[in-house]
Amino acid sequence: MREQGRGHETQTTCWDHPKMTELYQSLADLNNVRFSAYRTAMKLRRLQKALCLDLLNLSAACDALDQHNLKQNDQPMDILQIINCLTTIYDRLEQEHNNLVNVPLCVDMCLNWLLNVYDTGRTGRIRVLSFKTGVVSLCKAHLEDKYRYLFKQVASSTGFCDQRRLGLLLHDSIQIPRQLGEVASFGGSNIEPSVRSCFQFANNKPEIEAALFLDWMRLEPQSMVWLPVLHRVAAAETAKHQAKCNICKECPIIGFRYRSLKHFNYDICQSCFFSGRVAKGHKMHYPMVEYCTPLRQHREVLQSSKLDFISEDWKSCSVQHMNGVVGPLVSFMEKDFTFA
């Protein structure tokens, strides 16, 4: 029996694996990121990598769930069932990436994380839906495939979702930032306003279908914005932009690049933007465009400072008011981005 299991038998616990404690401590250095959506997403990115979930395809996750017959989403899973399913997942990952995946460590850490997120009462059980929401939110998949998958878990057999069902999904999703102490930024633990917002968006129909849910998610509702931002954080990791930061002079800019819509040829790097540094004459509330992937063929057009550079290849992911601190923030990334 694993340490985690022993702790649960005595019901005394809040036992973290030493590596998990180390990871949580390491997240503290991200607390200087001023904007909550980025801060949360960067913490989740680090967690995702530590759990090797950035290597896990959605289809492989589904295969493991099927293999363990985890179809009834409202059913509880005990520790042993969680360990068994995670072992299947990580054994397969080890076959594909043998030098990157330490199966016993990954199983322990992922179990530890899932219990911290979904078993706050330390009952030794989580629901199948919670297991799926946790693993799928952090796996490697197209963002909209995750949305479709998660919607399907709570939808009726005919593919519709009422307010109660959507509430279940949003509740389990919001537990992920909650566990990092970040829930206040995403509307708090009460998901009612978010459910209402979705159904208002659907003209108060009693039930919504997947397409409508996706349309709503594309607006990046406050309770869920950490998930698309996680995908952009991942995309930005390898981005190198042929531009110079107007503040720290970094050139090329690595990571996110922010470009002023008010000042011509004004770029800021990720670390200056996150720490809230501004150059003389430029205010934080001025609108900025976020790029998480480098501009290629569109660069010339962009640099002519026109705003009609949005073409088929680029999409506007969001217009956001991050905590009301930053002005309208438009972000661009290539279509159908998946974790590289």
Rounded to the nearest whole angstrom, what is the least distance from the CB of residue 272 to Zn ion in the complex?
A: 3
288 interacts with Zn ion by CB under 5 A: no
Binds Zn ion by CB under 5 A, chosen from 103, 105, 248, 301: 248
Site string for Zn ion, 267-286 (x = CB under 5 A): --x--x--------------
58 interacts with Zn ion by CB under 5 A: no
229 interacts with Zn ion by CB under 5 A: no
Distance CA 60, CA 117 (A): 22
Task: Please say whether the beta carbons of 210 and 198 come within 8 A.
Answer: no
Residue 155, C-beta contacts closer than 8 angstroms, at least 6 positions apart:
161, 165, 209, 210
217 interacts with Zn ion by CB under 5 A: no
Residue 36, C-beta contacts closer than 8 angstroms, at least 6 positions apart:
182, 185, 186, 322, 323
Span from 162-170, 190-198, 210-218, 248-256 in contact with Zn ion (CB under 5 A): 248-256
Rounded to the nearest whole angstrom, what is the least distance from the CB of residue 165 to Zn ion in the complex?
A: 45
Closer residue to Zn ion, CB minimum distance, 249 or 335: 249
- If you search the block for the tokens 């307010």, which residue do you land on? 163
245 interacts with Zn ion by CB under 5 A: yes
Task: Please say whether the beta carbons of 261 and 287 come within 8 A.
Answer: yes
247 interacts with Zn ion by CB under 5 A: yes
Span from 137-145, 220-228, 242-250, 292-300 in contact with Zn ion (CB under 5 A): 242-250
Report which DSSP code applies to 315.
Answer: E
Q: How far is CA 68 from CA 36, 53, 83, 95, 197, in A?
A: 37, 19, 11, 19, 36
Span from 46-54, 159-167, 241-249, 258-266 in contact with Zn ion (CB under 5 A): 241-249
Report which DSSP code applies to 30.
Answer: G
State the residues that interact with Zn ion by CB under 5 A: 245, 247-248, 250, 269, 272
